[in-house]
Amino acid sequence: MGVGGFSPIKKLLLSLVRIFFPPACPLCGSTFPKDHSDLFCAECSSGFHPLSKAKCPICSLPFAGESNSSHLCGRCTKKQPLYTKVYAVGLYEQNLRRAIHQFKFNGKVGLDRPLGKLLERTIANNLNLDLVLPVPLFRKRLQQRSYNQALLLAREVARIRKLPVASDLLHKVLDTKSQQGLSAREREQNLRGAFELGGEVENKIVLLVDDVMTTGATVSACSRVLLDGGAAAVYIAVIGRAA
Ligand SMILES: [Zn+2]
Ligand SMILES: [Zn+2]
């Protein structure tokens, strides 16, 4: 074994690969400087905006203009969500929004690992979880897009945390219309009966993964189904949190 656990031949192969395929930023494609160790280049990273400290401790809704308070947001005060807590990489704007769009609609599947790694880092280290599952897509949408972006992210988080991925536990059984432009109440109604449980979740602490969260109608609808099925708790992990 050589330095770092690689055999000399493997090290040679790795350096050859680096010469012909130098590591590059998965978002903009620019070649990384020699000692670069971050997931994205400095310029792309500077356009990722983490959530401020001032946010709702349950749904992570950022509070504009407040520097460091963590009271519940209006919506969570009125009706506490079924899920326990939302972890979000950052605000759904600028480069994070761009990365999600590239990943979701432009076939940049290779963003699954860096985005999944960012997601895993935002989840509390000591959080006790039994399994990871993605927000499912309706079958027709899955055929159109050929992959479920939430499943790819869930796989990466599960791989790092050494947890099982339940890719077929939750099903989307209705082809609901797009949530865009709908009010919070309309979103909730739009998703009524849209998800079904297809397996065993009794007493499990579940991490539900999605790419973007806006009002939380989707993750709430999924949480209801999981908790009705006996899950002990549902945590949410998303890349972009829309304010
Ligand atoms: Zn970049
Ligand atoms: Zn809230």
Residue range 156-202, pLDDT digits in tens:
999 999 999 999 899 999 888 888 888 888 888 888 899 999 999 99
Do 109 and 36 share a structural domain?
no
Do 142 and 31 share a structural domain?
no
Ligand of minimum distance to the alpha carbon of 99? 1
Distance 44 CA to ligand 1 centre (A): 4
Do 93 and 6 share a structural domain?
no
- Determine contact, residues 146/108, Cβ cutoff 8 Å: no
For the segment 4-41, what is each residue's pLDDT rounded down to a tens digit?
567 888 888 877 777 777 789 999 999 998 888 899 99
Mean pLDDT, residues 47-58: 91
Do 205 and 158 share a structural domain?
yes
pLDDT of amino acid 2: 45
Reading the block at residue 38, the tokens are 């971050």
Do 102 and 9 share a structural domain?
no
Answer with the residue of higher pLDDT: 176 or 211.
211
- Spatial separation of the C-alpha atoms in residues 111 and 105, rounded to whole Å: 12
pLDDT of amino acid 184: 82
For the segment 190-207, what is each residue's pLDDT rounded down to a tens digit?
888 999 999 999 999 999
pTM: 0.89
Do 188 and 138 share a structural domain?
yes
Distance 48 CA to ligand 2 centre (A): 22
Structural domain count, the chain: 2
Instruction: Report which of 52, 82, 72, 42 is spatially closest to residue 236, judged by C-alpha positions.
Output: 82
* Averaged pLDDT score across all residues of the chain: 90
Do 91 and 22 share a structural domain?
no
pLDDT of amino acid 22: 79
- Determine contact, residues 140/175, Cβ cutoff 8 Å: yes
Reading the block at residue 100, the tokens are 């999600």
- Spatial separation of the C-alpha atoms in residues 115 and 108, rounded to whole Å: 11
Reading the block at residue 41, the tokens are 């280049």
Domain that holds residue 179: 49-241
Coil, helix or strand for 115? helix
